[in-house]
Amino acid sequence: MQFGVVLHVSASWADWGTLASIARKAEDLGYDSVLVSDHFLSPSGRPHALEAWTVLSALASCTSRIKLGTYVLCNQFRHPSLLAKAASTLDNISKGRLELAIGAGWFKDEHISFGFKWGKLSTRVERLRESIEIIKRLWTENNVYYEGKHFQLKNATLEPKPVQKPHPPVWVGGSSNDILRLIGEVGDGWIPVLPTPEQLWNCLLQVKGIMSGAGRDPESLRVAYGGSGCALIAETEELVAKLAEPLVRSSGKPISESPCIIGTPERCIEKVEQYHRAGAQRIVAGFYDFPSTRGLELFADSVIPLFK
């Protein structure tokens, strides 16, 4: 199992110094990756949000080992040629530490506020498919010609190519049927948002079936579980209940029904085991008590060693 940390760049506490400090602490504690979200607005509508690629590039210069990724980039915000160039540059700067995760976009208000194209889900998934195809071709080929419904390229060559060969992994976020088909046909990894273990297992079977039908190796798929605020760990049940009160109020569900990894170290170990049995190879979690690193540290000390 691998373990990553999700940093929500539109959180109220997410200034650059705090994000950098948490990323460096995660690297020191032995986490495998740090992933940043991609928003112009917070999901609550607050306009405080740092730009994902700028943050990720800066993190490359203040870390040395930890993988750098996204959870997840909105495909609507960037032309695929620009994203391919930025990603290849970051892979070079970080000496091969980039993991690109991308989705079709879900926050309509954000698009309308800032003038980005919206459209129905099927159209956004079409655009995402074309983007992934273009990005991978620019990373691996020269003189690329592409004639799609949404994007066209003529004799495009991207240099330098990424350090990772054949290219950095492309994870896809989401769980709709259209997204699952896209993952099975062109994705390298799947990163859904807070599925239950049963949902993860069932969708994974669907994706692997699509991969087999497309002539791809189902065992090559990388699978993660996670969310930007999905982990809460504390030493006692009493402290867990106290810390989880806001989460329980907002969700309307008791801790026992939450898909999040919540509880004492023993309970968190049980939840990680459930997701591991369901097919997750990686846990990527934003800790509910950020910007404190208490949960980050306790999880690293008490949970991660049992899965390494």
The pair of three-digit structure tokens given for residue 272, joined into one six-digit string: 């990680």
The pair of three-digit structure tokens given for residue 164, joined into one six-digit string: 């990772």
At residue 44, the pLDDT reads: 72
The pair of three-digit structure tokens given for residue 142, joined into one six-digit string: 């020269």
At residue 48, the pLDDT reads: 75
At residue 89, the pLDDT reads: 97
At residue 308, the pLDDT reads: 85
Cβ-in-10-Å burial (0-12, 13-18, 19+) of 218 comes to middle
100, 68 contact by CB (below 8 A): no
At residue 249, the pLDDT reads: 86
Cβ-in-10-Å burial (0-12, 13-18, 19+) of 154 comes to exposed
At residue 134, the pLDDT reads: 98
Residue 197 backbone dihedrals phi, psi, to 5 degrees: -55, -40
Q: What is the DSSP string of 218-278?
A: GGG-EEEEEEEEEEEE-SSHHHHHHHTHHHHHHH-S-GGG-SSEEESHHHHHHHHHHHHHH
CA distance 226 to 240: 19
140, 166 contact by CB (below 8 A): yes
Out of 3.30.565.10, 3.30.365.10, 3.20.20.30, 2.60.120.10, the CATH code matching 2-222 is 3.20.20.30
CB atoms within 10 A of CB 61: 10
In degrees, to the nearest 5, what angle opens at C-alpha 234 toward C-alphas 230 and 236? 135
The pair of three-digit structure tokens given for residue 260, joined into one six-digit string: 């999040």
Q: What is the DSSP string of 84-109?
A: HHHHHHHHHHTTS-EEEEEE----HH
Tell me the Ramachandran region of residue 142: left when phi exceeds 0, alpha when psi lies from -120 to 50, beta otherwise.
Answer: beta
- In this structure, the chain runs to a length of 308
pLDDT along the chain (308 residues), means of 10: 94 94 98 95 77 95 96 96 98 97 94 92 97 98 98 98 97 96 97 93 97 96 90 95 88 85 96 97 95 97 95
Note the maximum CA span of the chain: 62
Nearest by Cα to 96 from 158, 168, 35, 24 = 168
Nearest by Cα to 227 from 174, 279, 167 = 174
CA distance 40 to 44: 11
